[in-house]
Amino acid sequence: MAMRAEDIEAMIIEAIPDARVEIIDLAGDGDHYKARIISSAFEGLNRVKQHQMVYAALKGKMGGELHALALETASRE
């Protein structure tokens, strides 16, 4: 079962409350998404640590319900 973009966004915001999240369905299949996430919580963290925060927010759904998620993270615009 695929995840909805709204569910992905909600999980990220629950874990990173100040996050501004934009979810793009890359293939139109509800299975391949791109997420742009901007949060002050990423300040001072390298890209790997930022992405680990997002994966942690998704609570193990990567590779299962959520097949592919390309991440673009930043601490500010």
CATH number of 63's domain: 3.30.300.90
In angstroms, rounded to a whole number, what is the distance separating the alpha carbons of residues 29 and 52? 25
Residue 21, beta-bridge partner list: 37
pLDDT of residue 1: 65
How would you write the pLDDT of the chain (77 residues) with one tens digit per residue? 678 999 999 999 999 999 999 999 998 888 889 999 999 999 999 999 999 999 999 988 877 778 789 999 999 98
Range(s) of the domain holding residue 36? 5-74
Distances from the Cα of 8 to the Cα of 34, 37, 46, 51, angstroms: 11, 11, 22, 14
pLDDT of residue 34: 96
Q: How many domains does the chain have?
A: 1
